[in-house]
């Protein structure tokens, strides 16, 4: 009996290009079959089915989630990004299905793990450890993490990259884009080529574990004066391009704080939001992946443990200036300035502003009203999201107004939005206005210097 059969969480990673392409074919076929079945069911019940209703069924999303979990790599990364939606855009039941992709990939069977580590460390690699736990403590999109102890007593967390993931990044992203085109979810006239190119570049960087180790060291240096956060230390002896070794730091998943006292949830998110502001306006470099699995919490110390720096990237001076203008306009409660700043940053296209100006202004008014409510911002109060969603969907229905913002803006906004979603999950209350006002006052108008001085490739 194979490892895959004895342990359902163990599945060998498809590493060949043809093998991975076959999995994408099975995703398309499975979804198409599910759409036909759902369409037939709705017709039989007297309904006129819409394409989105047939495509985004829990059964179809479940099939996609399972296949992406098996593939790992760039394909699974996309699913994780979709799962960050938190039910604000996708129906709640579909988001729930996709949540299984967060830090929940299948892990490699022992034979495949042995092959990968043998190639990186030599066939006798086990003799270099006092203990190496064969079962991973985490399995995600690009690699899985094992706990180990060296002969001199160093306790390590060792991230092992899945075979074939690095080589399949370009083809995986192209295949995902093809599936989106075929599904009709992306209009043919929308040019996403620059975004796909940037996604390929960033994922290639994430798959370079030596680069990630340097970024982790950089953040450790930048945050050495912050008593509220802790960053693992790089262990260079065992780190290669495909294996990342670091000090093991105890902590519990950040999402376990949902049952913590209100003050603990508030202080944790205050720390994290403050960190995002420092990354943007002080450091000039940001870890742009807000996956909840990248954060741990230490109950005994109250500190936030930061993990996974593969998506760390320099933030350009133009992007920093754009966010400064947007944030300052919001603090000033200046609707016109917010609209202009959103257009200047590339969030809003001129076509959208021309065709849907009144609706966009209503969305800005909703946001400004929430931002300037008396007292701390209550992330758990999501009543305003429904109104924003309704207006946003009306604008999004006009394909002539569709627009892809600059890649740098998208990556930064991914971190900001993901942080807000975590705050909503924890129902935290944070004085965001005070944090933002203080950070803008402390940072100089031109923040290009830190990005070039601090960031190391």
Predicted model pTM: 0.78
Contact 156, 245 (CB under 8 A): yes
**Residue ranges, the chain, pLDDT below 50:** 1-8, 13-18, 20-25, 27-56, 69-73, 79-91, 93-94, 97-98, 103, 446-457
pLDDT value for 185 = 53
Structural domain spans, the chain: 3-101, 253-457
pLDDT value for 306 = 98
pLDDT value for 450 = 43
pLDDT value for 2 = 40
The residues, any chain, with a CB within 8 Å of residue 349's CB and separated by 6 or more, are 343, 401, 402, 403
Report pLDDT digits (tens) over 317-357: 999 999 999 999 999 999 999 999 999 999 888 888 899 99
What torsion do the CA atoms of 343, 349, 354, 357 make, to the nearest 10 degrees? -60
Identify the three-state secondary structure at position 128.
helix
Q: Which residue is listed with tokens 């192209």?
A: 174
89 DSSP assignment: S
Residue of 397, 120, 424, 137 lying closest to 269 (CA atoms): 424
Contact 377, 371 (CB under 8 A): yes
Residue of 126, 117, 147 lying closest to 232 (CA atoms): 147
pLDDT value for 25 = 47
Q: Distance (Å, rounded) from C-alpha 423 to C-alpha 336?
A: 28
Identify the three-state secondary structure at position 171.
helix
The residues, any chain, with a CB within 8 Å of residue 75's CB and separated by 6 or more, are 20, 24, 67, 68, 172, 175, 176
Residue of 321, 357, 366 lying closest to 339 (CA atoms): 357
49 DSSP assignment: -
Q: Distance (Å, rounded) from C-alpha 225 to C-alpha 393?
A: 44
pLDDT value for 308 = 93
Q: Which residue is listed with tokens 């992946």?
A: 289
Q: Distance (Å, rounded) from C-alpha 412 to C-alpha 287?
A: 9
Which of the residues are catalytic?
Answer: 289
pLDDT value for 49 = 38
Contact 78, 65 (CB under 8 A): no
């Amino acid at each position: 009996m194979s490892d895959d059969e004895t342990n359902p969480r163990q599945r060998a990673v498809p590493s060949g290009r043809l093998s991975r392409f076959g999995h994408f074919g099975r995703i398309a076929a499975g979804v198409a079959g599910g759409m036909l079945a759902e369409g037939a069911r709705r017709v039989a019940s007297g309904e006129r089915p819409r394409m989105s209703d047939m495509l985004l069924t829990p059964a179809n999303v479940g099939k996609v989630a399972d296949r992406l979990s098996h593939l790992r790599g760039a394909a699974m990364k996309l699913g994780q990004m979709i799962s960050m939606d938190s039910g604000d855009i996708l129906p709640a039941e579909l988001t729930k299905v996709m949540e299984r992709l967060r830090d929940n990939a299948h892990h490699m069977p022992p034979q495949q793990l042995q092959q990968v580590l043998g190639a990186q460390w030599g066939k006798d690699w086990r003799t270099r450890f006092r203990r190496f736990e064969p079962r991973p403590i985490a399995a995600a999109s690009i690699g899985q993490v094992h706990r180990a102890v060296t002969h001199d007593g160093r306790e390590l967390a060792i991230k092992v990259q899945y075979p074939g993931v690095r080589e399949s990044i370009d083809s995986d992203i192209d295949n995902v884009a093809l599936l989106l085109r075929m599904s009709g979810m992306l209009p043919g006239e929308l040019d996403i080529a620059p975004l796909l190119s940037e996604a390929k570049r960033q994922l290639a960087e994430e798959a370079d574990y030596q680069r990630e180790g340097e970024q982790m060291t950089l953040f450790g240096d930048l945050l050495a004066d912050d008593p509220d956060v802790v960053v693992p230390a790089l262990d260079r002896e065992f780190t290669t391009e495909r294996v990342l070794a670091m000090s093991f730091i105890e902590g519990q998943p950040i999402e376990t704080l949902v049952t913590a006292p209100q003050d603990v949830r508030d202080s944790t998110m205050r720390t994290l939001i403050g960190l995002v502001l420092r990354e943007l306006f002080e450091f000039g470099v940001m870890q742009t992946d807000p996956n909840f699995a990248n954060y741990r919490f230490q109950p005994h110390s109250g500190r936030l443990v930061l993990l996974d720096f593969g998506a760390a990237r320099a933030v350009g001076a133009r992007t920093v200036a754009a966010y400064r203008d947007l944030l300052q306009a919001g603090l000033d409660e200046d609707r016109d300035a917010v609209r202009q700043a959103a257009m200047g940053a590339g969030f809003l296209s001129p076509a959208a502003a021309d065709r849907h100006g009144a609706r966009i202004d209503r969305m800005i008014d909703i946001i400004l009203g929430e931002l300037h409510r008396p007292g701390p911002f209550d992330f758990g109060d999501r009543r305003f999201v429904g109104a924003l969603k309704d207006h946003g969907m009306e604008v999004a229905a006009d394909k002539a107004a569709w627009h892809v913002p600059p890649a740098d803006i998208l990556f930064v906004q991914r971190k900001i939005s993901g942080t807000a979603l975590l705050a909503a999950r924890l129902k935290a209350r944070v004085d965001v206005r005070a944090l933002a006002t203080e950070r803008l006052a402390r940072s100089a108008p031109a923040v290009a210097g830190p990005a070039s001085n601090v960031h190391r490739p």
